[in-house]
Amino acid sequence: MELERISVVLRPRAPREALDLGAAMLRANAAAVWSAWFAFTVPVFVLCNALGVLLGLPWLGLVLVWWLKPLFDRLPLYVLSRAVFDRAPTWRETLRGQRQWSWRSTLAGLSWLRIDSSRALRLPLDLLEGAPRKQRSARWKVLRRRIVADTSLLTYGCLQFELVLFLSVWLLALLLIPHEWRPESLSDFFGRDVHDASTLWILLGATVAYLAMSAIEPLYVACGFALYLNRRTQLEAWDIDLAFRRLRARLQGLGKVLGVLLLCAGALPPSARAAAGETPPKPVVSSLDKLFGQPPDSADRRFAEAAAEVYRDPRFGGERKVRRWMFKHTPKPDTSTQPISFPALARVLVAVFKGLLWLLLIGAVGALAWFAWRWRGRLAPAADEPAPALPHGLQARTEAPAPLPADLAGVTRALWQARRRREALALLYRGCVERTAQLLQLPLSADATEADWLRQAAAIDDPARAQRVIAIVRTWQFAAYADRYPDDAAIEQLLSGWPAQTGAPA
């Protein structure tokens, strides 16, 4: 491996710091990664969903696209593995480069290793190294050591991110739907709307799931590749190796200069070297007598004999081998805690607290079961029960204690002409609510909302009357909440028929 060309700063990192490195690599090569991703996965997504529709199993496309994730993961890994050494390849080069890698590991990832939680770390080992099966198995045991929890956490975290994106799209769509068009409950939505257009809803859900997967899966592969690089840096000391290679390159460049200088110095004549102040080398001293200029005295001899006597003692001299069994990772003794004086009492206290925790858990589960049983009728009414009365909150604000006037249209027109526009529209809205309830034979409750009456307008058999109810409710909404009032012609049109005039046609 040509480590000199690598563009990533190689140093031992903590696993979560390596995950940040993977996210940074993905951001730096985002265009190359996602262009190759969509160029390959979009046709596969269309084919899988088309196959599901043709077979009459629309959910099959969603399952197939999710199952083919190990096949899609080859694309981001190819881009990132080339980008850290040279440049990011184009999407055409990425698709052509898949022929260089073995498909045996991908087939394993699509079969018995599909639910492997360490797939992000196993992928670069299988595709980039290309070692035989036995050697790859031995390397995997060493590579995954101490980081298996981090790789599993990465897998489950990315699954949760995909789920969050999937649900966020649906919640955003739900917030954009007008209140009167929303289903009354989730059971109503899945039992009526989804059942009536099951194929369309499943294809729409598969599309949203594919977009969520496209946003998260390249990040998953990039973080796994960063964990792989970090683990190999820790095991093989890539940072030290790279430092020595750079030092060697600098010394080679400096050695050429020194060689030229030595050649130039050797080419000078002896007279020139003497003139330059060069001194001949001194002779090597071969004994202590020549070094100090005098023979050693008797004190030095006595010290030498004493040292020889000490080294002959077996306690100091010689070599010996000692073998004993020790744990590889011995935990350090905790000196901060005091020893327990009464171990029996400690065991009793532990058992008591454990029993209390179990009782607390059982009580919580029982309380949840009682709550579910108590509210089961309110949360999910039976099919044969009549629909509950709709809330009518705004009616409580507009409802007067006196009954409606006999000439609702005339009183409303008089209030409007007297510049009491809000009171006029409130009276008209109240009359519309009461007469709509009489028409549909619904009881009046205390919490009505405009959205409920807009929804009830769909139950009126006469489309003209339904449109008139919707127009009156909308007019009241604009006046009550936005302070926007209609003109005189619009008021006269609302007062010209039912419900302002009893018995009149719409």
The pLDDT tens digits of the residues spanning 424-459 come to: 888 888 888 888 888 887 877 657 688 887 887 888
Q: State how far the Cα of 411 lies from the Cα of 21, in Å rounded to an integer.
A: 74
Where residue 340 falls among pLDDT bands split at 50, 70, 90?
low
At 115 the pLDDT is: 87
Rg of the chain over all Cα atoms, to the nearest angstrom: 42
What is the chain's mean pLDDT, rounded? 79
Relative orientation angle of helices 15-28 and 74-83, to the nearest 10 degrees: 90
Question: Is the previous residue joined to 296 through a cis bond, with omega within 30 degrees of 0?
Answer: no
At 459 the pLDDT is: 81
Amino acid at residue number 200: L
Q: Which residue has the higher pLDDT, 138 or 284?
A: 138
Q: DSSP letters of 188-213?
A: HIIIIIHHHTHHHHHHHHHHHHHHHH
Amino acid at residue number 424: A
SS3 448: strand
Query: pLDDT tens digits for 297-320?
Result: 555 677 677 767 766 666 665 666
The sign one gets for the Cα dihedral 54, 59, 64, 66 is positive
Burial of 254 (0-12, 13-18, 19+ CB in 10 A): exposed
Distances from the Cα of 346 to the Cαs of 328, 338, 340, 349, 352, in angstroms? Answer: 31, 13, 8, 5, 10
Residue (of 63, 190, 69) closest to 120 by Cα position? 69
Distances from the Cα of 210 to the Cαs of 5, 69, 162, 215, 373, in angstroms? Answer: 36, 11, 9, 9, 38
Relative orientation angle of helices 238-266 and 198-236, to the nearest 10 degrees: 40
Q: State how far the Cα of 166 lies from the Cα of 205, in Å rounded to an integer.
A: 8
Average pLDDT over residues 179-185: 69
pTM above 0.85, yes or no: no
Q: How many residues appear in the chain?
A: 506
Mean pLDDT check: name the lowest of 99-103, 250-254, 319-323, 337-341: 337-341
> What tokens were used for 179?
């209140």
Q: Using the predicted structure, report yes or no on whether residue 179 has a pLDDT greater than 70.
A: yes
Q: State how far the Cα of 373 lies from the Cα of 205, in Å rounded to an integer.
A: 33
Would you give the distance in Å from CA 158 to the centre of its chain? 4
CB-CB contact of 72 with 36 (8 Å):
no
At 283 the pLDDT is: 55
Residue (of 426, 435, 428) closest to 397 by Cα position? 426
Q: State how far the Cα of 305 lies from the Cα of 299, in Å rounded to an integer.
A: 10
Q: Provide the 10 A C-beta neighbour count for residue 425.
A: 25
Residue (of 144, 107, 148) closest to 125 by Cα position? 144
Q: Of the segments 125-134, 371-380, 390-399, which one has the largest average pLDDT value? A: 125-134
Q: State how far the Cα of 375 lies from the Cα of 447, in Å rounded to an integer.
A: 21
Q: State how far the Cα of 475 lies from the Cα of 489, in Å rounded to an integer.
A: 13
